[in-house]
Amino acid sequence: MTEAPIRAVGPKGFRSAELGWPELERIPHPPRRVPLLGDVVGVNRRTPLQDSLRYARQLGPVFRRKAFGKEFVFVWGAREAADFADESRFAKHVGLGIANLRPVAGDGLFTAYNHEPNWQLAHDVLAPGFSREAMAGYHPMMLDVARRLTEHWDRAAETGHSVDVPGDMTKLTLETIARTGFGHDFGSFERSRPHPFVTAMIGTLTYAQRLNTVPFPLAPLLLRSASRRNAADIAHLNRTVDELVRARRATGGGDGDLLDRMLETAHPETGERLAPENVRRQVITFLVAGHETTSGALSFALHYLSRHPEAAARARAEVDRVWGDTAEPAYEQVARLRYLRRVLDESLRLWPTAPAFAREAREDTVLAGEHPMRRGAWALVLTPMLHRDPEVWGPDAERFDPDRFDAGAVRSRAPHTFKPFGTGARACIGRQFALHEATLVLGLLLRRYELRPDPAYRLRVTERLTLMPEGLRLHPERRTPVREAASELRCPVPGAGD
């Protein structure tokens, strides 16, 4: 799983598009551009991604936006996205909100610049932690955390109360990555309010988003109080992780989990180890990225399952058939839930919780044979629009349809048209972990509950670098256990035998 290191592709820092796109004037931009301010008419600083999706529909697969003197290029066409996937010509670009997270995550896997060596070192050291063998070892811990979730939902079902889906999925995924990766328990389900780590994490993500909405020279003035809160949030994240690492060093081992690998494992070829400061940054990266995106994916999937009872019934029937009356599924049984995995993929298609990724040119090149780019020029790929390209997904691309991901449909589509985990050498290292966890949890919830939506609810999406359904609540209703249902099916008339 070792890739060749990506060499540096130019200086770090923001590069406005006019510096890297020689024919920028050919790329359309929104109407009513205002001098100095740019394309700010009609935008909402709380929903920059959704504003960009609206412009994407108007302006086409390559467009630009200007804000406070800085020009940005956005891409969502399938042809252009496939070209950006060429690792010989393009690499990850750390920009916009991602760079704003560097004060807390530094050169962690997600936020490192390509020329920084620690991302490749950490990737090579940690990749075995996501092998099939390692994943099978995490499975019992995932089940244990899911049990705490269902106990909470059982109480809601007994009393007829609804559940806070995004809040509960955040508790679940935080506890899962903390337990499996670092042997730590935040006690999220025993708390009436979010754990302070979650509050601090959301604060840092929100602040990183806000930094993109104000002119850089004015940020210290306009965000003075927010900056102080962000500094306190970062300090809390650092203290939490430092204590976690101290506790591990004191106990002397955690059965080879991710933290053990960070502290004890040397690079298989160079013998190099992660420095203590980088260990902290990697732990924060995994705790934040390892639960924030998965909780969003689960929340969107539960929303669509509650609104599409035919899909829920089909997925539930598959769970009942594949898992039978076993009390808890084995690791191998999760991968056999093929239709439920399609439900998850279709939810990630419509609302990929990491909604964009940036790519930059390694050398002077031409994007998709049409747009010249200088070395270091970059663009932001809008994943939700790539996943809605009608040339790939058809005229009904806005419709929820898990069968878009049956084997035949997947084979018929061009590559690089479904990118919820990014692309290339810097794509999400924990992809299989997230997919296994999400499929397992959805299967457990479908087997145990009918999911009743609030008829008045309309999907609203909140943005804090990642995406999450806002205000989503469901009413879980306990189902008849599979064992009892099977018994009733075999023997519908008392005394009549099987």
Residues tagged active-site: 293, 421, 428
Strand partners, 477: 450
One-letter-per-residue 3-state SS of 256-320: CCHHHHHHHCCCCCCCCCCCHHHHHHHHHHHHHHHHHHHHHHHHHHHHHHHHCHHHHHHHHHHHH
Query: Distance (Å, rounded) from C-alpha 226 to C-alpha 247?
Result: 32
Percentages of the chain per state (helix, strand, coil), in multiples of 5: 55, 10, 35
Report the 10 Å Cβ neighbour count for 133: 8
Sign of CA dihedral 266, 268, 271, 273: negative
139 within 8 A of 331, measured Cβ to Cβ: yes
Strand partners, 462: 468
Query: Distance (Å, rounded) from C-alpha 338 to C-alpha 122?
Result: 32
In 116-190, the DSSP E strands lie at: 163-164
Q: What is the dihedral of CA 259, 265, 268, 272, to 10 degrees?
A: 100
How far apart are the two ends of the chain, measured CA to CA in Å?
Answer: 53
